[in-house]
Each structure stands twice: as structure tokens, then as C-alpha cells.
Structure 1
Amino acid sequence: MSRVKVVDSGELSLGQKDQELWLQVDIAGMEEEERALFLKRKEAIDLYVANEKSHEEIHSLIGINRREINRLYTRCISFDPNGIPWGYRGLIPNKKIKKYELNPLSKKINDSRKTGEFSLLLEKYPKIRDEIENLFLGRKKLSEPVMRPKYIHKKFVEMCKEVGISRSEYPFNTNHLGYRALCRFLTQLRNKHFGTASRRYGRDAEQKAKNAGIGKQNYPSTLTPYQDVEFDGHRIDGIFVITVKTLEGDDAVLTLDRLWFLSFIDRATHSVIGRPHICLNKEYNASDVMIAAKKAVMPVKKMNLTIPGLTYQPPGGYPSERFPEIEWAVWDVVYFDNAQAHLADLVRERFRNLIGCTTCLGAVGKPMRRPHIERFHQTLTSSSVQRMPNTTGSHPNDPRRENPEEMAIQYRITYEHLEEILDVAVSNYNGTPHGAIFYNSPLEILEQRINKGMIPRLLNESKRSEFLFTQIEKNRTIRGSHQSGKRPYIEYMGVEYRNDLLAQSAHLINTKVTIHINVDDLRTIRVFLPDGSEFGEVVATGKWSLTPHNLQMRKAINLLKNKKLIHFTQWEDPIFVYHEYLLSQKKKKKATANQIAKVQKVLRKRDEEINKNVALAKAHEDINALEQARERQEKTQSTSKTPTVNRRFKTITL
């Protein structure tokens, strides 16, 4: 007897033909009769596909005829709604694999039942279907943003009347005018358009539905430290103050506008990379992003804490502090959102050319694609700032929010205190066990990965300069004139830059050069000639070269000067003049307080540099004094060693 031949005209895919790829069925939950029938069908299909027995032999062995075998095999190779062959699932007894469609021409139609009438109506009138979908999914801008099913049903009945459906036809010949069928259709819409339908339950639900649970994020495969990192800024939930000396010599306490907290976190180990940056601006900018990146890459040392009782936990710390072998470690991919500061040319250029990483931009207001940094910010604020009396809470009605400005002034909770508290909190966070990493701490996971040889990429030694992180490039022309007697100079942001070499290089007048500017410190700029050779550093003229100041501060001072609100000569320090102007403002606004805090930070940096230079000068003096004393001692010993011995013996004999 001839064997069965499974006919394949070349239209079947590999998933349809190969039984090994068919989805299996768990028969443990079936009733005994259903299980027996399923196993009979499966055995018959296996013999049929194997081409080992004829239809008659299969029928005699199992009891399933040719027609039934062909029907079952057709069910197995047909596709489900997801485009996957039904496989053995098509053999489950009483399983519907095809959607019911009403055939109005069939003689078997039952006039008392209305099954399929609703679907047939929507097929006949696609305008009604589109209107229902638009109303339910919120595709039309209506006065009612989320329309309930009973109001959609009212619109459905009105449209049925508009298209001319008679009173004797569906849905008017039913008790509820097709309401139940409409609700079932809306449920199908909700399941089919999960992300869009979630909008009916709020913006948060829509964001999670559209951006979580799908894609690469569900299959975490990052194991190597610093391979992928996330960055974001968080508005600190607290009010802080600064103490200033007024022009009259009195102490004044000013409240600051809410500050920003910028940080990087490693996806593989959940460790916070480097000391985070606290931004005093109303909105953080590209310079703040690069300062945060600089702090994340440069080695970290513990701060000198001034708050009594505040200490670092021994298990905590920062990666570069605990593991010297990964000092100056950099990352391969950084995940941003589309905030304006992240799209700046400075950020993209520095990350690409200096750090050598790829930037992956996500959408604003969709934190699901950066879960680690968002979760870290929640943990940090809930364990530190939100526990303080000056907290603003997580929302306006938070019971923890109780006159935060008054509390900040009363307890003198300053910006310097915030720096110390957050530094300790982040350090301790890195040493705290996390449930997401099986109750290991981020530093413990990092140590294990390092011991396995997963050493992150280190920044090239030629690029290990603070200047390079906040550097931008501009084209300028060297100016000067023999007629007016003005020596060569370079102008940038309203300030002239010179050095002795440039002053003696009159041949470079009108030469176009490239200047490298550190936007975090504009006291000096570096000049490169048209052929690419470095000319050297030029210094801002006058008092602009004394106090460190950034690009934003320079712009603010120039704006006030242009408006005739402040005035200073070449021999006055513009930063001090700016500081006095801010103090003289009668209306102590928060924005003014933030500007004062930034100027005070700059002045502290200047004092630190002066103290450092004094200490270095004293150290050089001590070293020179020791070297001179050593030289005198060696000279004395070399010239008087032998005569001293003879004189001693002569004295003894006499």
C-alpha cells in the first residue's frame, strides 16, 4: 500500500513544515476524555507527516479517517493572530482557531440569535467602525477626553440612524440596541491597542504601556562595568539658604531656588560613578552636563565634613576611590533623554571626541528607558533630603512639606550642608546591598567583575585634563593696529586676551586662529595657528584674569554692563562688582540668591587657589632652605674633616 505524501508546493514556511518548531501543549490540565482525544490526534498527525503509513493504515491503527487527518493538518499549519503556526495547539479539542464570521446567505442561520451581526455591520459601514475607534482611543480632540462606553453607544446608535439602518434591522431589533456587542468590541480594541488605550487611565499608565515591557530593556545583558551608563538630572526636593554679608556689613540669609542634582550610574553594577554635580542654575545647561561628566571620570577623594556626626560608612565609597585600577575609567554608551542640555553641540562633541562614547537619546518624560538612574534618584531623595525639615516633599500636598523656606532659614540649612549630605548619601548608597542584584552592594558587584578581568576602558593619559571636559572651539581673528599703536590681541566675550609673545607678534595681525575655551574658567584661552600648531595660552586683560568665572557669569556681567546697571574699570575685579550688585538688590529674589551662591562658590575657588599657591611657595622655600643647608654641611665636612682630627690629637698631647 502506498505511503501518504504530504503535499508541499513550496508555499509552506519552515515553521509550518518542521514539527520540531511547532508549539507544544501541556496535557496535564486537560480532562481525561480531552487528553485521550488530543493524544490520538497527535499520533495520527505525527504518522501523517512522517510519511511512514497510508491513510488506511492510520485509520485502522488510530481510528481517524483521511478527511479528518487533512482537516487537522490544515489547522496545524495555519497561522494564529500573531503570525505563528498553530502547530499542536490546533489539535486541542473544541479549540477555536478562526474568528466567527456570520454568513447571511447560509441556510443554517438562526434568526433568533444575533451572533456576528455586530461585526457584519462594521464591515458594511466602515465609517461607524472608524468613529468608534476614534472615540474610544481618544484620537479626536473632544470636550470629553475619556469617553465612557455608554456614551460611545449613544453615538453608535445615532450613526446607525444616519446611515439609514431601518428599525427592523440590527441593532434596533435587539433588546439593548447592540450595547453588549459594542462593549465586547471595545474590550478587543483595548487589548489590541494596549499602549494607546492605556491613555484612558492616565498619562503615567500610557507612558509605561508604550515604553516598558517591550524591546531590548526586557533582556538585560550588560555585564561589563561602564559598558552602559545612564545620566539624568533631578530637581532636589528641598529649600536651602546662603548667608551673605550685605554692603552695610550685616548678615543676611537668602533662600535659594530649588537646585539640580546631576549624576551618572552604571547599568551593570548599579554603582554611581564619581561625585555627582549640584547645579545652581534654574535649569542645568551643557556646561553642567560636562562638569558632571568630569566629576564622574576624575578620581574621587573624600570631602572634609563639617557637620558634626556626619560620617561615611566603611563599606561605601566611589568606584575610583575603592579601586585604583579603574581611575579615569570611561564608558562606551551613555543613555540620555532629549532634554535641551543633552542635545548641545558641546555635549555631543566632547562625549564623542574626548570620552569616545556613543550617546543614546530617549524621549523626555519617559523614565522607563532609564530605570536605574530614576530609581537611584528616588532612593536618594527619600533617604536624605525628604527626611529633612526643609523638604518640599514629593508633591504639593505631601504631609512632609511644612513651610520649607522657614525651616531652611531657622536651621540655617545651607548649600554647603547639601553638598556634604548628598556626598555621604551617594557614597553610602554604593555600599548598601540591593535586592535587584541579589542583596550585594554595587561596589561588591564591581569588585567581583574586576576580579573576573572585566576592566573598563580607561581615558587616554593625554586627555586627562580638567580643561578638556568643558572645552569648546571658536574661530577668532587676531586684532591690532600700527596706526593706533594697539598691540595684537584676541577678543572673546567682550574681553581682550594677550600674552608677551602675542604682543611681540605684529606679523599675526588679521590672522584667523582657532581658540580653545574652557567655559568653566574664562581667565585663559589656548590659541592654535592656521596650520594647527599651538601658539600658547593668552590671558584675559585687567582684573578679568584674577577670579575664576564661567561663561554664564561672563554673559550676565556683560548684560548688566550694557544696561548701565553696573560699571567697572580695567583695574576693578568684575566678579566683585557683580557680587556687590547682587547684594544691593532690594528685592531678594530666589534667582538673585542663586546667582550670589554661584559667585560665592567662585570666590571660594579663588581662595583655595591662593592658599594652594601660598602653600606651594612655602614648600618650595622649605625645600630650597634644606638644599642650601645640606650643601653647606657637605661643603664644611669635605673641607675640614682631616684637619679637625689632627687638631684634636694635638690638643690631647699638649
Structure 2
Amino acid sequence: MGRSRFSKRSSILPVAEWPAVDVECFVGEDKILVANRIQAIRMYLAGLPHTQIAADSGIIRSEVHRLLKRCCEVAADGRIWGFRALAPNMHIKNYERTAPVVCVPGEANNGSTGALGQLFERYPMLQKLVHELYLPREPKNKFHDVRMRICDLHNKFIRWLEEHGLQPNEWPLSTKTEGLEALRAYCNSLSSPYPEQWVRARAGEQAAARLTVGRGIEPIVPTMRPFNAVQLDFHKVDSASMISITSPFGVEIKVPLPRWYVGAIVEERYDLIIGAVLALEINPSADSVLETIESAIIPLVAGSKSCALAIGLGNKVFPNQMFEQLAGQGFSILRMDNGWSNVAFDVIDNVVDTIGCAVHLGPVKAWWGRDTIERVFGQTTRSGLQRSPCTYGSGPLDSRKNNPEQNAVAFELKLSDITSALEHQILLQNCSPTGALMMGSPMDALAAAIDNYGSTFIPSPLPATTQELPLLMYHTDIVTVRGNRKKGERPYVKVGPWRYTNEIISSDFALIGQHLKIYSSLRDARIAYAVCVETGEVLGKLLPPNRWQEVEISWSVRSILNREGTNHRRKVRREMHSDDWAGTLATATAIEDTNGMNKANVRKAALAVAKAAAKQAPLNHPSEHESDGTPSVRRDREAAQSGSSMQSLFLDVPFNIKSLHQPE
């Protein structure tokens, strides 16, 4: 016994899930026809009798069954045709040619519609060959063509037909173009049934990876409020640069860089730059990532005098500098790429433990996954960085590139100028009206959300203890306690070029040789804390060297000055002829010949010798420091006070004799 009419109807997909059509798109008789067909299908699936269906819609039983069968066919997009199949003159199947192709040799392809499909039915292996050559999954050997052109594919196509016995009077050999355009149209049509394979084979892996964006699927975590999700990334500045950094003691250190980076954090809701930092590195480090995150949370004090790479010291440019409510403001989601500096343990662990947010790591070089920050980078680059004469441009063929290395030396950049320019670009991004916010600026939109208690903005500051002492966001080092009780040298630790100590460490000689974990602030290198690795004891805040206690300097700048300053000192010493020991020996001998003179005459003789030596080896910079941290002037003074004239034998500044008689 067959199935009942109602059981067959119940097995069909619910009408509510069918692809629908808008009847208002049709006019005249077509509109009435489509409306009647839809009504008939709905009445039939509702279980109404055919007599009532025919009376209301005018469509008989056999026509209803035919239309229903058309609606249940599967379309090329993977869905059933649904109500789309009820449109007039709608073909739900591809054209299948049955008549043989008849054409005169040398003529065009007129009258050969469906000939290629008919040929593939005759030679199914040919169709398979076309798919393998045009959409290869992976190279089979080293001579495999990874992206074959249509003309080359057509040559193989024709040779294959000739080898398998196709006659010259048969299509496509009998036509003028030999079926080239038909093959081209067929290959382009393969993008519908095989979109991912087509894009990967014909456009590359990067284009195929981009297919994951814009699929029409709602995001799992929509951005509903400010500071819900932020994006972090580093923008590479392809400008050969000679950057000049002025040290706190007035020395200009030149740092040559083929490229450098600008790290930024952008808030997704309003496209607002909430933090940024300048990274003068060949590649961004984990410290640069943490410093960028810290700039978005802990506000900088604008106008403070410091030698730092941080942006926002000259002007208030970030939201946490303009709104007191945002001091220490956290966020829920941090999106960044899967770069090596971002996935470092120092970054992931510190961010999760300190901020408590989720970290979303996207694929490397997939800008479409973080389109917000990439769009912001593009705007700032076009309006500022790519206008520099030192730019490498956007690519090898960019006409803006014109001897960037030579221009980098000719147009020396100062660190203060770079930070000022970046602050200007950040203000343009944050305070410029945009159509996405109905001609309001991102900063105005954020201010309105903060002032409106009914908005979606939720203040979520970090705990006060975390804001005051965010040790997890600090740079960490494991160092050994140094000192010598026999020489009376108190215990200390050395982090970078500096010596740190405090009352606890300096008074406990038992710590010598033990390991301490040092937490150093990335923003201010003077701030450091020590923890004993062996016992876990917190040894408290450390004191930097006395000469640096009043100088604010970032961790990055200190590293750069220490590294590049060594090269600078070597050049200065070479210009001072520090290796000319014979001239210095003559100076010392002349001083020894003054033993019979009184003090006044000795001073005059020494001054004359110093002036003569200065003319032979002029000094470029008298304030250069020795490697042990003691100024050369002070060491000369100590040598003179010791009464030994031979101690000045190998001193490289012979005319500093004048300083011997200056008061302490």
C-alpha cells in the first residue's frame, strides 16, 4: 500500500525555509502567474484538496505536482530551488544539447550552444583533465604548471582530442577558434560549484584565506559597546631613516634603521586609536607589544620631560588622557595576529593575568581579519609616512621611491619630530568627522557614550593595585647579585648598563651569587622591583644610579643609547687620536721637566702643553663618558689629586689639565 498524500507532503522541507521571491518584482500577467503558483503550492502543502486549490488558484492537480517537483530540485548554490523555480521561463537545469553540431570549417561558433557539454559527455576523461589542469590541488612534480593559462590549457585540450580520434570536421576542430571561448566560459563557470578551489588555484592561498570573511554569518561576539574588543598590530614603516636621539646629557646619538614600526591599539566600536608606541626595531619585540598595551590602559602625563619613544608625551592624543573615567580602562577581547612577538609567553600570560581579557590570535598576514586597524594604518600612512622622501613606497614599483637610503642620510630625522608627526596623525584619526558615525568624530562618539548613562558604555577599570604596580606588564630579567665583601663592595645587581640596589640588598652579603627576578618598567627604566628566585622573597623597589634618578628614560631608549652610543664613542675617540700614545708620552715628559718650578709656573707650562696638544687632536665632544660610567673629566681630576703625573700618560684628553684646578 502506497504512502498517503499527507505523509508525502510532511516529508518536504517546511515552506518557511524555502528560498522566497518577491511577487512585486514581476509585472502584468507574470505577476498574477507567480502569485497563483505560490498560492497553489502553499495550499497543497497545507493539506487542502485539489478541488479547492484549482478553484482558488486556477492550477490543476498535475500542474501542482509538476511545480512542486521543480521547487524541490537542488540548485547550484546547494539549496533547493524553492519558490524561485516558479518564476516564468526559469531554467532549473543546464542546457543539454542532443542534436549534433553542424558547422562549416572555418566559420564562427554560431549554432554550437551546448556543444562543449555534449563533448564532455562523449569524453568524460577530457572533462576530468580540464578540471585537474585548471584547478590543480597540489603540484604532482617539479614541472607542474601551478596556474595554467587558458591558451595553454586549450592547446592541451585540442591535442588530447586529436590523439583520441576526433575528426577535423567535428566540433571544435571544425570552427575558427576551435572552441577557445567555450572552454574559457566553462572554466570561469567552475567558480560557482567550486569557489574555494577556484580561488586557491587561480588567485593564490592569500585570496583563498580571505574567503572566510564576508560569509554573511553573524559574529559570535558582536561589538555592541565601546572597549568590548580592541585590535593590536604593528605597522612597518618602509622608510630608510637616520633617527637622531638626544640623550638627557645633551649628546645626539644617530640610529640608522632600514625600517621601523609603529604599534597601535584600535577600539573596534568607533575606530578609535587608544594607544600607540614607536618601536625603533628591525622586528617588533614582546616588550614593544606590552608597552603598546600599557599605553592604552595607563595614561601618560603629557608635557613631561623624558627621553622616551612613547607617543602622547607632547600632547594629549589618547582617550585615557582626555577622560579621567578611562584611566586604567580594560577591555574584553584583544585581537592580534599570530606573529612571533605576539604569541610570546611574556605577552599572552601577562595580558591574560593582568587585564583578564580573551586573546584572539588570527592568522599572520591576514589583514582582512583585523580590517579596522589595517584601515586606520592605511589612512595614517597615506597622509603622512609615505610622503617622506625616505619612503620605500607601497611596493617595488611605487613611483614615490627615490633613493631612500641617500635621502635618509641627507634628511636626518629627530625622534621628537617623529613622535610629533605621529601624534598629529592620531589626532586626525580620533577627532575627524567620519561618515560611519554620521559625520561625528570617534572622540565625540566616545564622549557621548560616557556622558549618557543609558548608553552601552560600561566602565571597567582595572583594580587600583594593578594600575599602580602592574608588574606583569613589566620587562623581566633573571640576574645574579654581584659584590665583594673583601673589597668592601656592597651587593648590587646590574640590569642593562645600570647598577641597581636598595637597603635590603646592599646590607645582605649573603645574597651575593643568588638569582633575582627583576621587574623593570618599560615606560620608565628607573622603576624596578626585585624578587629572590630561590626563596620568593620580595626585596622591594630598587634604586637606579644617582645620576639617573632625576632623568625619565624608557627601557627602549636606554637600550638604543647604550647600543648606538658605544659606536658613537668609538668614533669620537678615533677622531681624538686616542691611540697616539707617543704624543701623550711627550706631554707627560714635558710635565715632569717642571719639577723645579713653583706651582704657578707649573700651571702655565701645563696649560701651554695642553693647548699645543689640542691643536693636533681637537676634541669633538668633551662630555663623552667612559665605559665604566665615570666621566673622563672626573678621572683626570682624580689622577691629578693622586700626585702622579704618569697616570695621565694614556689619557685621551690631554687638554683637560685645565680642569685639574677647578674647584670640586
Normalization by structure 2: what TM-score? Answer: 0.68
Answer yes or no: is 1:34 the counterpart of 2:30: yes
Answer yes or no: is 1:150 the counterpart of 2:154: no
**Which amino acid counterpart does residue 434 of structure 1 have in structure 2?**
T
Residue 321 of structure 1 deviates from its aligned partner by 2.3
Aligned to 2:48: 52
How many Å separate the matches in 1 of 2:466 and 2:330? 12
Q: How does 1:227-242 map to 2 (within 5 A)?
A: 227-236=228-237, 238-242=239-243
Answer yes or no: is 1:526 the counterpart of 2:530: yes
SS in 1 for 2:569: helix
Residue 267 of structure 1 deviates from its aligned partner by 0.7
Aligned to 2:72: 77
Residue 265 of structure 1 deviates from its aligned partner by 0.8
Distance 1:583 1:280, change over 3 A: farther
Answer yes or no: is 1:266 the counterpart of 2:262: no
How many Å separate the matches in 1 of 2:136 and 2:256? 44
Distance 1:422 1:484, change over 3 A: closer
Residue 353 of structure 1 deviates from its aligned partner by 0.9
Q: How does 1:352-391 map to 2 (within 5 A)?
A: 352-391=352-391
Higher relative contact order (CA 8 A, sep 6+): 1
Residue 419 of structure 1 deviates from its aligned partner by 1.0
How many Å separate the matches in 1 of 2:289 and 2:459? 22
8 Å Cα contact 1:262-1:277 kept in structure 2: yes
SS in 2 for 1:464: helix
Stretch moving more, 481-490 or 213-222:
481-490
Aligned to 1:189: 190
Distance 1:143 1:429, change over 3 A: same
8 Å Cα contact 2:353-2:472 kept in structure 1: no
Q: How does 1:486-501 map to 2 (within 5 A)?
A: 499-501=502-504
Answer yes or no: is 1:461 the counterpart of 2:460: no
Aligned to 2:636: none
SS in 2 for 1:269: coil
SS in 1 for 2:330: coil
Aligned to 1:325: 325
Answer yes or no: is 1:135 the counterpart of 2:133: yes
Residue deviations 1:189-241 (CA, integer Å, cap 9, x gap): 13444455456886699368535433668899413111111111112354544
8 Å Cα contact 2:232-2:263 kept in structure 1: yes
Distance 1:124 1:289, change over 3 A: farther
SS in 2 for 1:111: coil
8 Å Cα contact 2:302-2:316 kept in structure 1: no
8 Å Cα contact 1:232-1:336 kept in structure 2: yes
How many Å separate the matches in 1 of 2:78 and 2:497? 66
Distance 1:584 1:396, change over 3 A: farther
Aligned to 1:622: none
Aligned to 2:435: 435
Stretch moving more, 208-217 or 249-258:
249-258
Query: RMSD value over aligned CA atoms?
Result: 4.8
Q: How does 1:415-426 map to 2 (within 5 A)?
A: 415-426=415-426
SS in 1 for 2:79: coil
How many Å separate the matches in 1 of 2:331 and 2:442? 17
How many Å separate the matches in 1 of 2:430 and 2:62? 68
8 Å Cα contact 1:6-1:48 kept in structure 2: no
Residue deviations 1:553-604 (CA, integer Å, cap 9, x gap): 77997xx9xxxxxxxxxxxxxx965652476699xxxxxxxxxxxxx9xxxx
**Which amino acid counterpart does residue 569 of structure 2 have in structure 1?**
E
**Which amino acid counterpart does residue 110 of structure 1 have in structure 2?**
A
8 Å Cα contact 2:168-2:174 kept in structure 1: no
Aligned to 1:612: none
8 Å Cα contact 1:59-1:65 kept in structure 2: yes
How many Å separate the matches in 2 of 1:186 and 1:9? 39
How many Å separate the matches in 1 of 2:323 and 2:303? 18
How many Å separate the matches in 2 of 1:204 and 1:517? 42
Pairing partner for 1:580 from 549, 552, 569: 569
The number of residue pairs the alignment matches comes to: 547
Normalization by structure 1: what TM-score? Answer: 0.69
How many Å separate the matches in 2 of 1:535 and 1:252? 35
Aligned to 1:631: none
Residue deviations 1:492-542 (CA, integer Å, cap 9, x gap): 789997655346657778877765455774984411466755243567899
**Which amino acid counterpart does residue 530 of structure 2 have in structure 1?**
R
Distance 1:74 1:242, change over 3 A: closer
SS in 2 for 1:340: coil
Residue 331 of structure 1 deviates from its aligned partner by 1.7
Distance 1:23 1:490, change over 3 A: same
Distance 1:123 1:477, change over 3 A: farther
Aligned to 1:623: none
Aligned to 2:414: 414
**Which amino acid counterpart does residue 136 of structure 1 have in structure 2?**
Y
Residue deviations 1:603-654 (CA, integer Å, cap 9, x gap): xxxxxxxxxxxxxxxxxxxxxxxxxxxxxxxxxxxxxxxxxxxxxxxxxxxx
Q: How does 1:73-152 map to 2 (within 5 A)?
A: 73-100=68-95, 109-112=98-101, 118-119=116-117, 122=120, 128-137=126-135, 139=137, 140=139, 146-152=147-153
8 Å Cα contact 1:489-1:503 kept in structure 2: yes
SS in 2 for 1:231: strand
How many Å separate the matches in 2 of 1:582 and 1:227? 52
Aligned to 1:640: none
Distance 1:155 1:82, change over 3 A: same
Residue deviations 1:464-512 (CA, integer Å, cap 9, x gap): 1476354356777889999999987778789997655346657778877
How many Å separate the matches in 2 of 1:215 and 1:485? 73
Gaps of 5+ in 1: 103-108, 307-311, 561-574, 587-599, 601-654
SS in 2 for 1:40: helix
Aligned to 2:660: none
Stretch moving more, 35-44 or 290-299:
35-44
How many Å separate the matches in 2 of 1:415 and 1:469? 28
How many Å separate the matches in 2 of 1:553 and 1:316? 24
How many Å separate the matches in 2 of 1:338 and 1:209? 16
Gaps of 5+ in 2: 103-111, 307-311, 576-623, 625-664
Aligned to 1:64: 59
